[in-house]
Every structure is written in structure tokens, then in C-alpha cells.
Amino acid sequence: MVVVLQAAIAGFSLEVMSSVRAYVAGEAMWSRSQKNAVYFLNLYLHSGDASQFTQYQASLAVPIGDEFARWALERDPVDVEAARIGFLQGGNHPDDVPGLIWLFRYFNRVSFLQDAIREWAATDPMLLELSVFGEVIRSELAKGPIQDTNRLQVLSSRLSELNAQFTVHAKRFSTVLGEGSRAIKLALTGINIVTAAALILLLIWHTRRLVLQRQAFEDALHAEKERLGWQASHDWLTGLSNRRAFEARLQSELDVAAAGSLGLILLDLDQFKNVNDSCGHLAGDSLLCQVSRLLQQDRHPRDLVARLGGDEFGLILPQCSPANAVDIAERLRRSLELFNFAWDHRCFAVTASVGVACIADRNITLEDAMRRADAACYRAKVKGRNRVQVDGGRPDVVVVAPWHREAAAAQG
């Protein structure tokens, strides 16, 4: 659309300038023809040669044809065909005629063209007089050569006066057209420059809008990829990393030959089924979310907490000594023991069986590491729950909940 609009404006400008040029060329031919008509009529006056009268008539037909075309265009309605015939009689090039008609019809109220038409119309009486003058001279010469010297002088002087009058109006016509064409050229040049600048700005704005749209689309696509990536690696309920991300991180830690051992903790809630069975899954979901927030408290930035499924959670503790890993596991177990879960005016004691595996040998496989931590967690459950069990032949660290806590759990 930008290209089409600019092309239309450029085409309009060329059409206007071409039509003005056609009028300038037509005026030159019209002026030359009327001078030739006066010249050949004057020769005919003195010689009586019929061929010179024929040349006078041929020359006079040019301005008369242009005059006829103007009259056709000034009619209501406009007679386009008559105007075309008149301009052709005026010696105008056939390719210029449509532009002459178009400019006269649609721009005749423009000031410079109005002035030019006024000068053009002012020659109508002179053309009529010149036509009648030629017929008078021919009728007098039909009787024979004019012998009266004074009569010849009067006729010749009048022809000179007509020629001078024609010349004055022709020069004014040419001057007005020249000034108008220069003004039109400047105006159209300005319009083209302004339009081109406006279209360039429009194109820049449109391009910028497309770039911003593309950037917004790319940002949205990136955000969607991040969202999908986050969903693929996180638990939808708690927002913790899921088993897939947990195992990927564990494998990454096992692949890094760094100093220090790796702590791996698996944690199973002991009373989760009671909450689900007595209060429903909404209560169970709420418990899991609260437990997940509790497990994330006081964690080191490089630690990873994940929900592995159901009521099972896992922690990866990079560069963590066995003593620190056991201490962290015990603190987590103690925090859960002191935590009371309330739902629908009912309170539930929450405890957990915790298995700890301390990995010092980084050549161990992921499956073996998970198996060791899972086995420790299973032994903690078997030994009575609410305790920490360390894998690897280390002494068990067992913390048994106070009796009133177990009684409260049994009542829940």
C-alpha cells in the first residue's frame, strides 16, 4: 500500500506537469499559427496569390481549433469529443489531448489556469475579426488588384495592429503558464517530499510495530517454553522440583568430581493416609504444601528439595559431611514432629520416617544412591517411624516421639 500510494502521487504529479507542458507547447503552436495567418493574409493582400490565402486559412485553422475545443469544455455538459477534435485541429499531439482536456476540466478554477484561460478567451474577437478580414480582402481582390494605395495601407496597418494585439495576449498566456508550471512544480515537489517522508515514517512505524510484535511473540514463546520447562521439572501442587528434576540433579552431582561428600535424604510422612481418609484430598494437598514450605526453611542455596511423589520428599545436600547430613535430617524430623496440621477444626500430629545416605564415592550410580537412601527410609518405618535411619552401617539415630504425641496421632 505504501508503494502504491507513493506511485499514485508520483503519477498524478507527472500527469499534471505533462498537461501543463502540453498547454505551453500548444500555445507556441497557436501563437506561431496566428502570426503566420497574419503574414500570409498580408502577402495575399498585396499579391492576390490564391495559394497564400490557402496558407492563411490553414494557419488560422489552428487557433480556431483550439478556440472550438475551449468552447466545448466550457459547455454544460462538457462535450469531450468535440474538444478532442478541436485540439487535434489545433495541431496538438494526439497523446497530449487527454491531458489537455483533463487539466482544463478539473483545474480550470486554479488561479494560474484561470488567468491563462482569460488571456486565451480575450483573443476570440481578434480571431473573428481576422477571419472576417480575410473574407473582406478576398472579396475585394476578386474584383481585381486593389489600386488604391491608401486602402492598401489601411488594411495592412490593421493587420499589423491585430498581430500586435495577438502577440500581447499570447505573451501573457505564455507568462502565466510558465509561472503556474513553476509554482505547480514546487508544490508537487513539496507534496512528494512530504508524502515520501510521511510514508517513510509510516513504514518505519509499521516495521517497528512488526518488530515489537515479533519480539512480544518471541518473549511469549520463551515464557511459554520456560513455563513448560518449569512444569516438566516441578511438582504442580507444591512447586518443588519433581522426581525427574531430582534425579537429573543427583546425576549431575555424582558426575562432578568435587571434594566433600554428598548428602541424600528421603523423607516419608507417617500419618498422611489418615489425613486423606478422614478429611479428604483437599486436606491432604494442603498438608503437602505446608510440609514443602517447612522443608525449604533454612536451606542452603545449593541444596535441592523435591517432592518425589505422594507423601515422599527428597533432599540433595551437595558438599555436606555425614554428620551435617544427619543433623539436618534430625532437625527436619523434629520440625515435623512439632508441627500441628489443622483442618476443619481438627488437629493432626505429623511425623516422618527419614532415610539418610552419605555418598563419598562419586563412582556410585544414581540407582545405587537412591536405593541406599530408600532402604534407610524403609528401615526407619520398620523400626517404628518418626525417626532418622542412616545408611552405610552407621549407628541408627532414633528419635521416638513422646507418648502424648503418639496418642494424639492415634486419636486423629
**Beta 340-343 vs 352-359: how paired, if at all?**
unpaired
Look at residue 260 in the predicted model and tell me its pLDDT: 67
Q: Quick one: cell of 81?
A: 469529443
Look at residue 182 in the predicted model and tell me its pLDDT: 78
Task: Please report which helix (H) or strand (E) contains residue 29, including its range.
Answer: helix 2-47
Q: Quick one: cell of 182?
A: 513553476
Q: Quick one: cell of 199?
A: 510514508
By C-alpha distance, which of 292, 12, 370, 92 is closest to 101? 92
Q: Give CA–CA dist 389/377, Å, rounded.
A: 6
CA-CA-CA-CA dihedral for 155, 156, 157, 159, to nearest 10: 90
DSSP string, 74-89: HSSS--HHHHHHHHHH
In a 3-state reduction of DSSP, which class is residue 389? strand
Beta carbons of 355 and 374 less than 8 angstroms apart = yes
Q: Quick one: cell of 296?
A: 525449604
**Beta 352-359 vs 387-390: how paired, if at all?**
parallel
Q: Give CA–CA dist 348/259, Å, rounded.
A: 42
**Beta 304-309 vs 262-269: how paired, if at all?**
unpaired
Q: Quick one: cell of 50?
A: 490564391
CA-CA-CA-CA dihedral for 81, 87, 92, 94, to nearest 10: 0
Q: Give CA–CA dist 77/83, Å, rounded.
A: 12
Q: Give CA–CA dist 294/310, Å, rounded.
A: 17
Task: Please report which helix (H) or strand (E) contains residue 262, including its range.
Answer: strand 262-269
Bridge-partner residues for 101, per DSSP? none
Domain boundaries, the chain: 2-205, 243-411
DSSP string, 328-361: HHHHHHHHHHH-EEEETTEEEE--EEEEEEEE--
Task: Please report which helix (H) or strand (E) contains residue 315, including its range.
Answer: strand 312-317
Q: Is the peptide bond before 77 cis (omega within 30 degrees of 0)?
A: yes
Q: Structure pTM?
A: 0.51
Look at residue 394 in the predicted model and tell me its pLDDT: 45
Look at residue 392 in the predicted model and tell me its pLDDT: 67
Q: Which residues of 314-343 are buried (b: 16+ CB within 10 A; e: fewer)?
A: bbbbbebebeebbbbbbebbebbbebebeb
pLDDT profile of the chain (412 residues), mean per 10:
74 80 83 89 88 92 91 91 92 90 86 85 88 88 82 86 87 81 77 81 89 92 88 92 95 77 93 87 93 93 94 94 94 93 89 94 88 95 94 49 39 39
By C-alpha distance, which of 23, 37, 241, 229 is closest to 119? 23
Task: For cell 486565451, name the residue.
Answer: 120
Look at residue 259 in the predicted model and tell me its pLDDT: 56
Look at residue 397 in the predicted model and tell me its pLDDT: 42
Other CB atoms within 10 Å distance of the CB of residue 396: 12
- First vs last C-alpha separation in the chain: 76
CATH of 243-411, one of 3.30.70.1530, 3.30.70.270, 2.60.40.10, 3.30.420.40: 3.30.70.270
**Beta 262-269 vs 352-359: how paired, if at all?**
antiparallel
